Structures are given as structure tokens and as C-alpha cells.
Structure 1
Amino acid sequence: MADSLCPLSPPPAGHNRGPALEPPSLLAVERWRRAKAARKAPSGVALRMQLRRAAELGMPPRDYLALRAFCGTDIRAVAFMPDALRLRFARSLQMPEPRRARLRAMRDVYLLGFAPPDEPPESFRQELSDLTGCRFAHCAPCSKTPIAWSEARAGARALLDPLRLPGASVLLVGDGEIATQLYGAARLGGLMSPEEFFGPDLR
């Protein structure tokens, strides 16, 4: 019996005495696929694996399961906007210790970063790695001001393409209009504010 939610080909002309329907858009098909996947309860083994993965990412199980259901795949990378890490620029980078500890606790995930404007991305990546004790895999430049949709997508892909990461497998941590543009233009797996990701007490 066909799933009643499945956007199959439209009924023939005259069905229920109505006009022929337009074929479903790719976006509608994708939304249906995600909704169908989300309503399937995971098996015991799959649930245990997902709970373990949530622990590796340092995320509450409820948040991880909701994120996974939304993006339809595991999170392979977490990308940070400059303000998400509460960096202070002095003679050298500074970051609150609770945030460094949160990053060090993560396992089996790429750490990525958007470099602040006018900061060379590779130098910024090395500084972040030295400061946190974590290996940041790649950094890309971040715009100072909101940008066009095509530029936002290109900026996000500049961060992901060196690691061949699909957008759906990447969680972006940040807030503000630029973060929202990057998230939407590259179809990233999720967007969390710094407070949601690090917790309200890790500011």
C-alpha cells in the first residue's frame, strides 16, 4: 500500500473532477523524504549509536536527535562564526576556558571556522588550533557585511569543499544575518546560536 504522504506522480486529469496537478517540486520531494525519515523510530541499536554520537559531539541527546532528523544525516563537521567563540583579539587570541574545554571534548568531527575580516584564514586556523588544543581542519574568510545569496554560497563552499563535505553534514554555530545567509545559501545541516551550542553558562 503506497504511503499516503508520498509525492508520487499526480492523478490523471479528471480525477475527482478536478484539473491535473503539477508534478511535485524537488523541494517538496526532499521535505517529504525528511518528514518520513523523521517519523520512523530508530531501532535499539541505531538509537544507542545515535546517543553515543551525541556524547561525542557534546550535545544533549534531544538536540542531536532533532538535528539528525532535520538534516537526514550525521554531523561530520561543526563550523564556527568568529563571534561564536567569544574570541578577543589582543597580541594573541584569547578564548574563555569553558569554550576551549567544550571544543576539546568533541570527538570524530571536523572543526571549521570562518576567519574574521582582514584575518588571513590559514594564520587564523593555526592560531585557533594552538589556542584551543584542537586541530581546526580549515578556515575560510567571513564577510564584514551581509552579502548576495550567490556570494554566501560561494563563501560557505570555500570552507567545505577542501574536505568534500556536503552541506547537510555541517552544523554552523553563530548568530546574526551573515550566519543565516551562509546557512541558507549552502543548505547546511543546522544552525545553532553560541548559547544553544555552548550553553548559557559558557559565555
Structure 2
Amino acid sequence: MPDRPFPASAPPPAGHNGGPALEPASLLAVERWRRAKAARKGPSGIALRMQLGRAAELGMAPRDYLALRAFCGTDISAVAFLPEALGLGLGRRLSMPGQIRARLRAMRDVHLLCFSPPAEPPALFREDLAELTGCQIAGCAPCPALVLPWSEARAAARALLDPLRLTGAAVLLVGAGEVATQLYGAARLGGHMSPDEFFGSGPA
């Protein structure tokens, strides 16, 4: 049998630029890749129509709702208002600008929550607010007067959400200032809008 020359070394396995072959991707890595790819895609026609309808139920401009929905990754189940976000007059009787009251009344299929002013008993404030707006107020808890330690701020927010078993990601907070910012971050809420952003965000 004639002798045949052998290569000095075996040819490199197939790979990028002739390099070594890549290791098989793990199932977890593949799933993460699929999710990231899907997240970059816009919603399908049916999903988009449903989301536009949901924006109308919340009285939000479609672009604002779609941005919020993409950010928090879920629908908004509740909107929580700080007292100053509602433009309330806290005299002998509560008062509220007519356009804010109309906006609240127009919202559909969402829990309306509120923080009571620090000096107001939550149960009484909730009752007065429901009477003033004609809306069902699903929950009320005391609003911190000042910025708190992080754990206490989270507890203050959870006092509002836990009775309804709401996840933070499904809640939009409407309010301004350091207390609002801290409540949003400590409870990992789904979104945060200033009163001007929320009440100025009507259907286009």
C-alpha cells in the first residue's frame, strides 16, 4: 500500500473566520435571545388595536400609553394619585378642578387609588374624594410628609397596593416632587407621570 502524506495538523473545525466551532447555545440563552428579539418588534395589528383601545379607556394619548406599556411590560391595573396631583382645595369641603374630575370619571377598567394628605385620616379622605368625584376609590393610604428611609417608603406604597394584591409594575403613580419620586422607586412601580403629563395627556 503506497504511503500517503498526512497533514502536519488536523484542519480546524468550522467556525467564524475559520476559528473554533462555537459551543451549542443553552436553552436559557436561546430563550433570552427570542425574548429580546420579540421585544424589539412592535405589537401585531390585533395587539395594537387592543392597546389603542386601552389607551382610550385610560384617557391617555396613544403614544403615551404605548410608551408606558413598553416600559413596564404589562398593562396598567391601577393609577395612584398623590394629593397635590388632583388639584384639591382642602378647605371645609374638598374642591377639585372640573377638568380633573371629568378625566377621572371617564377612566374605565382601572383601580383609582389615592394617598391622603398627612393630616387627613385615609378612610375619611377616601370617602370625601369618592363623593366629590363620583368615582369608586379602590384604596387610600397616608402620604408620607417627607422623604423617608427607603424601606419605610416602600412600606408606605405597599400599604396602598397590598389590600388589592397589586404588583408594583402594574401601577402608574401620578405626582410630583421628591416624595413621589421616592415612592415610585422604592415600590418599583410601573410608571411615574407628573400631574401635567397625566392630565394633559388626552386622546389625540
CA contact (8 A) 2:60 2:201 kept: no
CA contact (8 A) 1:82 1:116 kept: yes
Greater RCO, 1 or 2 (C-alpha within 8 Å, sep 6+):
2
CA–CA distance in 2 between the matches of 1:126 and 1:182?
Answer: 23
Matches within 5 A, 1:75-94: 75-94=76-95
TM-score by length of 2: 0.80
CA–CA distance in 1 between the matches of 2:141 and 2:34?
Answer: 32
Matches within 5 A, 1:86-125: 86-125=87-126
Q: Give the structure 2 partner of residue 191 of structure 1.
A: 192
Query: CA RMSD for the aligned pairs?
Result: 2.1
- Ranges of 4+ aligned residues in structure 1 off by more than 3 Å: 32-38
TM-score by length of 1: 0.80
Asked if 1:128 is matched to 2:150, the reply is no
Asked if 1:56 is matched to 2:67, the reply is no
CA–CA distance in 2 between the matches of 1:200 and 1:43?
Answer: 24
TM-aligned CA distance change 1:114 to 1:193, over 3 Å: same
Q: Could you list the runs of 5+ residues in structure 2 that have no partner in the other structure?
A: 1-18, 20-32
The amino acid across from 2:129 in the alignment is: L
TM-aligned CA distance change 1:97 to 1:37, over 3 Å: farther
CA contact (8 A) 2:116 2:125 kept: yes
CA contact (8 A) 1:171 1:191 kept: yes
Structure with max Cα Rg: 2
Q: Give the structure 2 partner of residue 143 of structure 1.
A: 144
Matches within 5 A, 1:23-34: none
TM-aligned CA distance change 1:35 to 1:94, over 3 Å: farther
SS in 2 for 1:117: coil
1:102-148 per-residue CA deviation (whole Å, 9 max, x = no partner) reads 00010000000000001111111111100001010000001111111
SS in 1 for 2:152: helix
CA–CA distance in 2 between the matches of 1:42 and 1:170?
Answer: 21
SS in 1 for 2:139: strand
Q: Could you list the runs of 5+ residues in structure 1 that have no partner in the other structure?
A: 1-15, 17-31
Matches within 5 A, 1:15-30: none
TM-aligned CA distance change 1:34 to 1:69, over 3 Å: farther
Q: Give the structure 1 partner of residue 67 of structure 2.
A: 66
